[in-house]
Amino acid sequence: MSRKSRPLIAALYLLILASAGIVFDSASAQSELPDATAFGSPKDAEAAAKTQRAAELARINGVFTALQADPALAPRVPAPALAAAKESLARASGAANDTDNGAYLLYIADRKVQLARALAQTTYAQEQYQQLVAQRDRSPNANSSFTQIAPMVIDTPQQEELQRGAAALHPSRDRGALHFFIDDVVVLPGTITLTRDTSNGLIALSVYLRRNPQSQLLLVGHSRGEVKDDAVQRTAQARADGVRNYLLRLGVQIEQITLDTKVSGEESQCMRCVDAYLDPPWATDKN
């Protein structure tokens, strides 16, 4: 990478950081950072950018410190990856005061730390999987179909970032898909209403889908009542349609979204919700 291109990368990364401070409300961003564009003079704008760089450096250091303190991951970080992360953090230690290269150094440090963490997670997951396989093989019912072990799913750094940003949607793993629970979706004539937390979670989800155009999202609109009641079915469909239209307005491609509905009996607690499944292996095209 040439030295001339670093200021451009730095400027682009600062814009990404400012955007992330607005979209995501996660543990990695405890306080709102000042927006450099809100200041009139170049001096004030640079002061805001310096504050952003300092906050980002603190965040990256926090992630690295947590990685080193994690009893499951710390011993499994490959030595070269650990050394590279330490070196990149040392180079970024003065990034707050480095107008030309600060944001670039922070970007490199963040990638190195995330890579070290992802490698450790992969090793840990593989070891756990091997232990389960060994337990299965020792089982007296090893030939039973009930003892078959499905491949383990390892979240990517982007998926982990998504789950932090969409924490209000209660992310979890369900049958190989990343599941989000969109609650309290109120259907009104021609539209829906969402809570602020739900809206922020959907914004985070839309950012992930725009970054990953190959990803698919299955939306299942729920309603409570008689399965054969057309009005109840229409309500469930409107709930799923409303969430899809909201994501489309946020820039998600319509080809990425599939719709379905589910009507539950009176005992169901999911009366005004939509289930969202990211990259479900069982999804079919129902648009």
Of 71, 104, 120, the last residue of a domain is: 120
- CA–CA separation, 55 and 29 (whole Å): 8
Q: From the CB of residue 282, how many other CB atoms can be counted at a distance below 10 Å?
A: 9
Radius of gyration of the chain, Cα coordinates, nearest whole angstrom: 23
Check whether residue 11 and residue 88 sit in a common domain: yes
The pLDDT tens digits for 66-88 are 989 988 888 999 999 999 999 99
Q: What are the C-alpha distances in Å from 243 to residues 94, 169, 239, 262?
A: 44, 13, 7, 15
Residue-number span of the structural domain to which 34 is assigned:
3-120
Check whether residue 174 and residue 115 sit in a common domain: no
Read off the pLDDT of each residue in 82-102 and give the average, rounded to a whole number: 86
What pLDDT was estimated at residue 21?
Answer: 44
Highest mean pLDDT among 134-138, 212-216, 260-264: 212-216
On whether residue 41 sits in a domain, the answer given is yes
Check whether residue 188 and residue 269 sit in a common domain: yes
Read off the pLDDT of each residue in 112-127 and give the average, rounded to a whole number: 86
Check whether residue 88 and residue 183 sit in a common domain: no
- Higher-confidence residue of 46 and 248: namely 248
Predicted TM-score (pTM) of the model is 0.46
What pLDDT was estimated at residue 202?
Answer: 92
- CA–CA separation, 149 and 142 (whole Å): 11
What pLDDT was estimated at residue 100?
Answer: 81
The pLDDT tens digits for 7-35 are 555 555 555 545 444 333 334 433 434 44
Q: Are 169 and 219 in contact (CB under 8 A)?
A: no
Question: Is pLDDT of 247 > 90?
Answer: yes
**Residue 187: which H helix or E strand, with range?**
strand 186-188
On whether residue 20 sits in a domain, the answer given is yes
Specify the number of domains making up the chain: 2
On whether residue 274 sits in a domain, the answer given is yes
Check whether residue 260 and residue 168 sit in a common domain: yes
At 123, is the pLDDT very low, low, confident or very high (cuts 50, 70, 90)? confident
What pLDDT was estimated at residue 269?
Answer: 57
What pLDDT was estimated at residue 133?
Answer: 66
Question: Is pLDDT of 149 > 60?
Answer: no
- Higher-confidence residue of 133 and 231: namely 231
